[in-house]
């Protein structure tokens, strides 16, 4: 997914001379092609992410569309105050890009578990939250971000994520994408690379359910969500994030508003497959930690 992002960013930078990339002393194999082609629009600021946000804010105030890139929590939780005050407050044209969402860097321990980032970032006014599910969605979101004038958080997987979509598609900011149609009562909403697991599990278990990708956690297209909730009475949300403030929280908030406004025919049952309120004290690869935290679908959810 990170390779798809940088490849698309290079394509965008060739036609947009205002695109600028900052990194926090990492990812050389990935970002080197950008640095070599656009040396005057690339800076390795070193291991000082808070300063990186300040530099990005200054560049944005001078007309640049700035991307800051680092691992999981480092460009988000570590510098949340700078993002709030220097970027979001001014509606700065800054894109915060984190690589290694959820447990992607699980073997490095809890300091590298990016499992609270959505909750923190989506509380910030003016911030768009993106969580692509595969390389093709990462490319689409990168393309959209290149022409979007404002703050955006792009939450990427690490590397090796497989393409889920066989056909290209278009989307606008906030869209929910239907991967698999169904006339049944159930629907899965997945955000991020865990969609791949959901797709395979449904296929292997021959479950009659619709599957939706949520590439945007903020904003969420309310009309599309309303149509989904009117059609499906049983919704399963799966997300590699803490339950507090995660994707299911965002969906429930929007459903609650729609229901209180009298715009929903029914309030669907919503199952939250997210991380319970805990730190994960063990190290392991991504799939091991998903299993450890019970991020797994089961047949009873569809009864």
Q: What is the pLDDT of residues 9-47, one digit of tens each?
A: 999 999 999 999 999 998 788 999 999 999 999 999 999
Average pLDDT, the chain: 95
pLDDT at 74: 95
Q: Percentage of the chain with pLDDT > 90? A: 93
pLDDT at 183: 87
pLDDT at 206: 95
Q: Which residues fall within 8 angstroms of residue 295, CB to CB, at 6 or more apart?
A: 194, 238, 240, 273, 274, 275
Q: One fold for both 2-156 and 177-302?
A: yes
Where exactly are the structural domains of the chain?
A: 2-156, 177-302
Range of weakest confidence among 1-5, 123-127, 156-160:
156-160
CATH of 2-156, one of 3.40.50.970, 2.60.40.10, 3.30.420.40, 1.10.3720.10: 3.40.50.970
Taking residues 188-197, report their average pLDDT. Answer: 96
Q: Are 222 and 176 in contact (CB under 8 A)?
A: no
CATH architecture of 177-302: 3-Layer(aba) Sandwich (3.40)
pTM: 0.95
Name the band, by pLDDT with cuts 50, 70 and 90, for residue 158. Answer: confident
* Strand 127-130 versus strand 216-218 pairing type: antiparallel
Taking residues 220-245, report their average pLDDT. Answer: 96
Q: How far apart are CA 256 and CA 261, in angstroms?
A: 9
The CB-side HSE value for 42 (13 A sphere, CA atoms) comes to 15
Comparing C-alpha atoms, which of 210, 214, 204, 224 is closest to residue 180?
210
First to last CA, the chain: 34
Taking residues 255-265, report their average pLDDT. Answer: 96
Choose between 287 and 166: higher pLDDT: 287
In the predicted model, is pLDDT for residue 243 greater than 90? Answer: yes
Q: Which residues fall within 8 angstroms of residue 247, CB to CB, at 6 or more apart?
A: 118, 131, 189, 191, 214, 217, 237, 239, 241, 274
In the predicted model, is pLDDT for residue 159 greater than 80? Answer: no
Taking residues 104-116, report their average pLDDT. Answer: 93
Token reading at 196 = 């791949």
């Amino acid at each position: 997914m990170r390779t798809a992002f940088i490849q698309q960013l290079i394509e965008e930078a060739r036609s947009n001379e205002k695109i600028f990339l900052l990194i926090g002393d990492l990812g050389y194999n990935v970002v080197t092609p950008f640095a070599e082609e656009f040396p005057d629009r690339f800076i390795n600021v070193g291991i000082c992410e808070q300063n990186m946000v300040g530099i990005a804010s200054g560049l944005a105030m001078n007309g640049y569309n700035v991307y800051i890139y680092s691992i999981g929590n480092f460009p988000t939780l570590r510098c949340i105050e700078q993002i709030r005050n220097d970027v979001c407050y001014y509606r700065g044209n800054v894109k915060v890009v984190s690589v290694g969402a959820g447990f992607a860097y699980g073997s490095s321990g809890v300091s590298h578990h990016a499992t609270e980032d959505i909750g923190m970032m989506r509380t910030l006014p003016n911030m768009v939250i993106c969580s692509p599910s595969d390389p093709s969605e990462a490319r689409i979101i990168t393309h959209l971000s290149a022409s979007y004038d404002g703050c955006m958080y792009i939450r990427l997987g690490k590397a090796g994520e497989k393409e889920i979509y066989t056909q290209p598609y278009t989307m606008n900011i906030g869209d929910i994408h239907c991967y698999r149609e169904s006339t049944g009562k159930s629907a899965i909403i997945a955000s991020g690379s865990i969609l791949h697991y959901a797709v395979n599990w449904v296929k292997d278990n021959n479950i009659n359910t619709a599957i939706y990708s949520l590439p945007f956690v903020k904003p969420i297209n309310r009309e599309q969500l309303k149509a989904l909730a009117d059609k499906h009475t049983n919704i399963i949300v799966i997300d590699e994030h803490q339950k507090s403030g995660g994707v299911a929280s965002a969906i429930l908030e929007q459903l609650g508003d729609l229901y209180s406004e009298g715009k929903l025919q029914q309030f669907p049952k919503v199952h939250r497959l997210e991380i319970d309120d805990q730190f994960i004290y063990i190290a392991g690869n991504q799939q091991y930690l998903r299993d450890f935290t019970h991020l797994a679908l089961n047949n009873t959810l569809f009864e």
